[in-house]
């Protein structure tokens, strides 16, 4: 998606450990017009997938997941992190290893908001090693819901998450794929 790719090249900042900061439009300050365009783009891409629900993980997946759900006219649900005790016992839980913080955390979704019979579109801001997506897929499996596809804003193509999912036959659509990154340069896949 050209609009997102241009913003990454213009405003992205690279931190040690191959972390891309896109705080000026995606992860801290949020450009809602861009989110709207991202939502419309995913809706177009997955329009034939029979999506009944959009699922993401708090916090940074929420804006683009909301706009995607808005364009599909379906609910959006976000998995809550860690201290999910206030969700009560009726939750699906999984463990995710955080790429950016280097530690494990729990995610949980109430059983009231994810059902057998759902076809779920998983949305997230980044895909690196695939841990967050695996956690969300695990929640879907526990609920008996199908994963209709995965929509990612920025895939780090030099990390294995996206290719592993595609090899398993899962449909992954990434709006921008970074092939390489060093201190001064971001190389996007054409
Ligand atoms: P994965 O679980 O695929 O290894 O990493 C994806 C998750 O880690 C995303 O939910 C995202 O929040 C975070 N993440 C991974 N790489 C980056 C990065 O380069 N920049 C930012 N801002 N977040 C990242």
pLDDT along the chain (190 residues), means of 10: 98 94 98 98 98 97 98 98 71 90 91 97 98 98 98 98 98 98 93
Question: What does the pLDDT read at residue 83?
Answer: 62
Ligand 1 pocket residue status of 94, Cβ below 6 Å: no
pLDDT of residue 87: 67
Fold annotation for 2-188:
Rossmann fold (3.40.50)
Domain ranges of the chain: 2-188
Q: Does residue 107 have a cis peptide bond before it, meaning omega lies within 30 degrees of 0?
A: no
pTM attached to this predicted model: 0.97
Cβ neighbours of residue 160 closer than 8 Å, sequence gap 6 or more: 129, 130
**Ligand 1 pocket member 19 (CB < 6 A):** yes
- Give me ligand 1 centre to Cα 124, in Å: 9
* Predicted local distance difference test score (pLDDT) of residue 166: 98
Query: Ligand 1 mean position to 87 CA, how many Å?
Result: 25
60 lines ligand 1 (CB under 6 A): yes
The finding on whether 176 has its CB within 6 A of some atom of ligand 1 is no
* pLDDT recorded at residue 131: 97
Q: Is 132 in the pocket of ligand 1 (CB under 6 A)?
A: yes
- Cβ 90 vs Cβ 41: under 8 Å: no
């Amino acid at each position: 998606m050209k609009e997102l790719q241009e913003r990454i090249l213009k405003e992205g900042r690279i931190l040690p450990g191959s972390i891309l900061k896109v705080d000026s439009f995606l992860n801290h300050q949020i450009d809602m017009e861009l989110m709207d365009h991202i939502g419309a783009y995913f809706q177009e891409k997955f329009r034939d997938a029979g999506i009944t629900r959009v699922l993401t993980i708090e916090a940074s997946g929420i804006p683009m997941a909301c706009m995607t759900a808005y364009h599909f006219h379906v609910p959006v649900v976000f998995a809550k992190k860690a201290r999910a005790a206030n969700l009560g016992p009726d939750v699906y839980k999984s463990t995710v290893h955080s790429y950016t913080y280097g530690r494990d955390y729990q995610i949980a979704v109430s059983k009231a908001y994810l059902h057998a019979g759902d076809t779920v579109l998983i949305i997230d801001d980044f895909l690196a090693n695939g841990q967050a997506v695996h956690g969300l897929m695990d929640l879907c499996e526990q609920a008996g819901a199908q994963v209709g596809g995965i929509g990612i804003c920025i895939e780090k193509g030099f990390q294995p998450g996206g290719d592993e999912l595609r090899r398993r036959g899962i449909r992954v659509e990434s709006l921008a794929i970074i092939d390489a990154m060093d201190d001064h340069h971001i190389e996007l896949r054409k």
